[in-house]
Amino acid sequence: MQLSRSKTTVVSYLVLALFGAVASWLSWFNQDFRLEYAVPAIFATLMLSWIRNNHSFYAQPFYRNAWRFNTVLLWLTAIPGLMLMLPKLVEGF
């Protein structure tokens, strides 16, 4: 299977990851956090993993910055879930 490696495809996956991160934060602010809202960011990371694995693409500034931005969005997506789990973990001790 040949992945599309055009810049348009990369930007599309970055927008998908952005929507996943925003949806996770909005669901946390509404006190209705659900893991399903993080799926777009996780999917985008999986679809863009070829950037990190291919050194000829990762050497190009656009693709390297796209991978970094996607990684930041993935971490931002994880923060609401971690903040939700933290009180449950602390009271367990």
pLDDT digits (tens, 9 = 90+) for 59-69: 999 999 999 99
Gap between the terminal Cα atoms of the chain? 48
- Please check whether residue 49 lies inside any domain of the structure: yes
Cβ 48 vs Cβ 67: under 8 Å: yes
SS3 labels along the chain? CCCCCCHHHHHHHHHHHHHHHHHHHHHHHCCCCCHHHHHHHHHHHHHCHHHHHCHHHHCCHHHHHHHHHHHHHHHHHHHHHHHHHHHHHHHCC
Q: Is the pTM of this model over 0.75?
A: yes
- Please check whether residue 1 lies inside any domain of the structure: no
- Please check whether residue 60 lies inside any domain of the structure: yes
pLDDT digits (tens, 9 = 90+) for 68-89: 999 999 999 989 888 888 888 8
Cβ 20 vs Cβ 39: under 8 Å: yes
CA distances from 14 to 8, 29, 72 (A): 10, 23, 11
Domain count for the chain: 1
Residue 43, domain extent: 7-91
- Please check whether residue 37 lies inside any domain of the structure: yes
- Please check whether residue 2 lies inside any domain of the structure: no
